[in-house]
Amino acid sequence: MAAVSDIGIDLGTSNVVIYARNRGIVLDEPAVVALERDSRVIRAIGMEAYRMIGRTPSGIVAMRPLREGAVADFELTSSMLHHFVVQVIGKRMFSRPRAVLSLPSGINENEKRNISAVMFEAGVRRTQLLDRPVAAAIGADMNINEVYGSMVVDIGAGMTDIAVLSTGRVVVSDAVKLGGDHFDDAIIRYLRRKYNLLVGERTAEELKIAIGGAMPRREQMYLDVTGRNLISGLPKLMRITSDEIFEAIDDPLTALIEAIHAVLEHTPAELAADVFDAGIMLTGGGAQLTGLADAITTALKVDCHVADNPQTCVATGCGRTLENLADYGRYLNDRR
Ligand SMILES: Nc1ncnc2c1ncn2[C@@H]1O[C@H](COP(=O)(O)OP(=O)(O)O)[C@@H](O)[C@H]1O
Ligand SMILES: [Mg+2]
């Protein structure tokens, strides 16, 4: 029988990523479930369900059960997690793998316990939890075991985790309900206010990724999008510029930088000095916003870097702890 692969899982507010020991990333899917509104029968999970967002036939809803960083619907969260885990490890009768899991910060103790039970039902022998910032830092190749302050900011869709670590422990941290979703929402609000144009979430995200930025683009870019004109009620095609998106996301961007600033302010002086020396590491999908590291560097006068493959850092960090229990095992938490 093939060796059982232990797994690291990032259960994010918009994506679930799984890292298999000695294999790397084996799953990266939207944390979306599509279900029948009345019967609540699940119709699709992951990518297939994501494609249904905003364009589901009547009677079917596609939703993100962890959207706000907390469990909006525990049953759906469980079904989704179960589905992805079984997809990766297969149906196992005898050799059960172990797992390290990183959850959104908004989850409560009771839910944590229940999630471990869900993992067991999916075939995992033992599930341990890893704090999201610690996982992100390990996945971003930061040297966290040293007596040295390092700062990591994991920017997800619904939440951002900001933490200063030393000797692998979180010294100061904050988890704010602010992430990629809030940038998308700001774009939707802006276009409605300015043009009476109503665009969907996916269009807003597309604008953010394609032409958005935390600094003005050196060369103006544009994207043609279709929305609904709120006056006529009819579809309308409009050309949106990068300057407009830059203006649109000013509020969430300022709030994000403020939140990082606040954590730095509460960091003990010695550790803060280390952070000023080594810089801030950005992880999470939201870290990929064009110019974000530059904007933070400019605002806070601290060097800021985006990790390689920021969106998979947390899952990689979870998986690496299982590959190297000698160095990282002590950061794992058990829930029974
Ligand atoms: N190139 C990009 N530019 C800006 N934002 C991005 C980019 N790629 C992904 N994102 C955003 O990253 C967020 C998802 O990040 P992720 O870490 O997967 O979230 P979570 O951990 O909450 O599941 C989404 O809001 C998405 O719009
Ligand atoms: Mg993430």
Length of the chain: 336
Residue 226 lies in a domain: yes
- Kindly state whether residues 93 and 199 are assigned to the same domain: no
- Kindly state whether residues 280 and 156 are assigned to the same domain: yes
Q: How far is the CA of 228 from the centre of ligand 1 (A)?
A: 25
Residue 37 lies in a domain: yes
Number of domains in the chain: 3
- Kindly state whether residues 293 and 166 are assigned to the same domain: yes
Residue 283 lies in a domain: yes
Q: How far is the CA of 1 from the centre of ligand 1 (A)?
A: 38
- Kindly state whether residues 174 and 205 are assigned to the same domain: no
Which residue range is the domain that position 88 belongs to? Answer: 7-133+314-334
Residue 2 lies in a domain: no
- Kindly state whether residues 116 and 21 are assigned to the same domain: yes
Query: Which atom of ligand 1 has the smallest separation from the CA of 183?
Result: 25
Going by alpha carbons, the residue nearest to atom 15 of ligand 1 is 285
Residue 258 lies in a domain: yes
Residue 270, classified by CB atoms within 10 Å of its CB into exposed (0-12), middle (13-18) or buried (19+), is exposed
Q: How far is the CA of 326 from the centre of ligand 2 (A)?
A: 26
Point out the residues of the chain with pLDDT beneath 70: 1-4, 92-93, 335-336
Q: How far is the CA of 25 from the centre of ligand 2 (A)?
A: 14
Burial 127-155 (b: 16+ CB within 10 A, else e): bbbbbbbbbbbbbbebebeeebbbbbbbb
Distance CA 37, CA 103 (A): 27
Hey, how many other C-beta atoms are within 10 angstroms of the C-beta on 199?
24
- Kindly state whether residues 161 and 297 are assigned to the same domain: yes
- Kindly state whether residues 71 and 157 are assigned to the same domain: no
- Kindly state whether residues 228 and 273 are assigned to the same domain: no
- Per-residue model confidence as pLDDT tens digits over 264-297: 999 999 999 999 999 999 999 999 999 999 999 9
What is the pTM for the complete model shown?
0.95
- Kindly state whether residues 189 and 256 are assigned to the same domain: no
Residue 1 lies in a domain: no
- Per-residue model confidence as pLDDT tens digits over 186-233: 999 999 999 999 999 999 999 999 999 999 988 999 999 999 999 999
Residue 92 lies in a domain: yes
- Kindly state whether residues 212 and 266 are assigned to the same domain: no
- Kindly state whether residues 277 and 299 are assigned to the same domain: yes
Residues with CB under 6 A from ligand 1: 12-15, 156-158, 179-181, 205, 208-209, 284-286, 288-289, 311
Distance CA 52, CA 60 (A): 9
Q: Domain with 112 in it: what CATH number?
A: 3.30.420.40
Residue 76 lies in a domain: yes
**Closest ligand, as measured to the CA of 105:** 1
Last residue of a domain, one of 204, 232, 250: 250
Q: How far is the CA of 286 from the centre of ligand 1 (A)?
A: 4
Q: Domain with 192 in it: what CATH number?
A: 3.90.640.10
Going by alpha carbons, the residue nearest to atom 3 of ligand 1 is 289
- Kindly state whether residues 170 and 215 are assigned to the same domain: no
